[in-house]
Amino acid sequence: MLIAIPDLLSPDQLAGMRVIIDAALWVDGNVTSGHQSALAKRNEQLPEDSDAARRAGAMVLDALAASPLFVAAALPLKVFPPLFNRYAGGQAFDTHVDNAIRIRRGSDFRIRSDLSATLFLADPESYDGGELVIEGQFGEQMVKLPAGHMVLYPASSRHHVTPVTRGTRVASFFWIQSMVRDESARNILFDLDSAVQAVAGDRGQDDAAVVQLTGVYHNLLRRWADA
């Protein structure tokens, strides 16, 4: 399931983040690549241990924690510290699958990558190409969102970034280990939570059906979650 999360960053937050990362030193994006990705990846990246990456990453994590939609969709247990990349001058990332285990270099922090996330940081009108193309059961889906918007998708999916032929595509990317490992179970919980919120909006939180459905949600979460 692909889930778009609009306006994760406000315009002010986005502007502040761009000030930090645009002034930083960027390096070859293959500093974080596995063997397969290194053959396919052509972009630039902020060093993950740089001050700019840490400061901007903290802003992303704060925004995630404040987003009910992200929490409902991902049911996050761990979030890999956000990374930042940019593409220009024909750079692209060919078809690949993200590593199942992500390890933060120089530490014992590691996660199982259940979900991948791309947070767009440049206006789509400012660059040509750069679509995130995700392969799924029903074919390819092309994603190019407004700046400040984010997309969540299964880390197990094949995906690529098309060549950027004008301007610069800037984004943050990272991975999430969910409390609910099984993708189908996670999707059911998200759909149920969305339905409960819709019914609660019509009838109120104290409606008997809303209380019952909320109990069903939490009992399923209790059955499926590892926390």
Instruction: Tell me the pLDDT tens digit for each residue of 54-64.
Output: 999 999 999 99
76 and 178 Cβ atoms separated by less than 8 Å = yes
- Look at residue 104 and give its three-state secondary structure: coil
Query: Which tokens belong to 104?
Result: 């933060």
Residue 26 phi/psi, 5° resolution? -105, 150
Residue 175 has pLDDT above 60, yes or no: yes
Query: How far is Cα 141 from Cα 172, in angstroms, rounded to an integer?
Result: 19
Residue pair 67/5 in contact by the 8 Å Cβ criterion: yes
Within 10 angstroms of residue 140's Cβ, the number of other Cβ atoms is 12
* Cα end-to-end distance, the chain, whole Å: 22
pLDDT digits over 84-99, tens only?
A: 999 999 999 999 999 9
Residue 24 near residue 52, CB atoms below 8 Å? yes
Confidence of residue 70 (pLDDT cuts 50, 70, 90): very high
**CATH 2.60.120.620-classified regions of the chain:** 3-178
Q: Which CATH class is domain 183-224?
A: few secondary structures
Average pLDDT of the chain is 94
Q: Which two tokens stand for residue 37?
A: 């990705």
**Does the domain at residues 3-178 carry the CATH identifier 2.60.120.620?**
yes
Both tokens assigned to 76: 């996050």
Q: What is the spatial distance between Cα 45 and Cα 16, in angstroms, rounded to a whole number?
A: 18
Over residues 131-140, the pLDDT tens digits come to 999 998 889 9
Structure tokens at 59: 């802003």
Q: Where in the chain is the domain with CATH 4.10.860?
A: 183-224
Max CA-CA distance within the chain? Answer: 58
Task: Calculate Rg over the CA atoms of the chain.
Answer: 18
| Confidence bin at 34 (pLDDT 50/70/90) | low
Full-model pTM: 0.93
